[in-house]
Amino acid sequence: MQAVEVGKTRLMNFRVMENLRKSFDKVCRYNGSNMTNELNRLMRSYIDREGRRIIQEQNNVEDILSLIPQPNKHTRKSMVKDDWYDEASNPSNHSHRRGEWVLGDDKTWRVQS
């Protein structure tokens, strides 16, 4: 579609089959209207109908989302001291423990039993 601006209105060019255009023109004249008025009316009608449908769909989505349980934001911290990731922030505390792993005297890591 091409549009050429004329004041607050725009001239639109679009392709349509010739027999459809002629039939549309005849029906418009029979009803005492013109093609421009009827195309504007058809576009407004389409916008109103589809706008209501879109709003209804958005409301349906919001209703469905409100039924889905939200995850609990208050999670409990682990009671196990784990400074695996904290060594960078506290380099003086070189723990011999990484979660459930413990560094043995022979410098190997073992699961704490």
Annotate 35-61 with b (16+ C-beta within 10 A) or e (fewer): eeeeeeeeeeeeeeeeeeeeeeeeeee
User: Which residue in 103, 74, 111 sits closest to 87, CA to CA?
Assistant: 103
Rounded CA Rg of the chain: 36
Residue 30, pLDDT score: 96
Into how many domains does the chain fold?
A: 2
Residue 66, pLDDT score: 81
Q: Are residues 91 and 58 in the same domain?
A: no
53 Rama sector, left if φ>0, alpha if ψ -120 to 50, beta otherwise: alpha
Residue 72 structure tokens:
């609990």
Q: Are residues 29 and 61 in the same domain?
A: yes
Place of tokens 């005297």: 105
What pLDDT digit, counting tens, does each position of 44-78 carry?
A: 999 999 999 999 888 888 888 887 777 776 665 55
Range of 103's domain? 79-113
Local structure of 3: helix, strand or coil: strand
Q: What is the pTM of this model?
A: 0.49
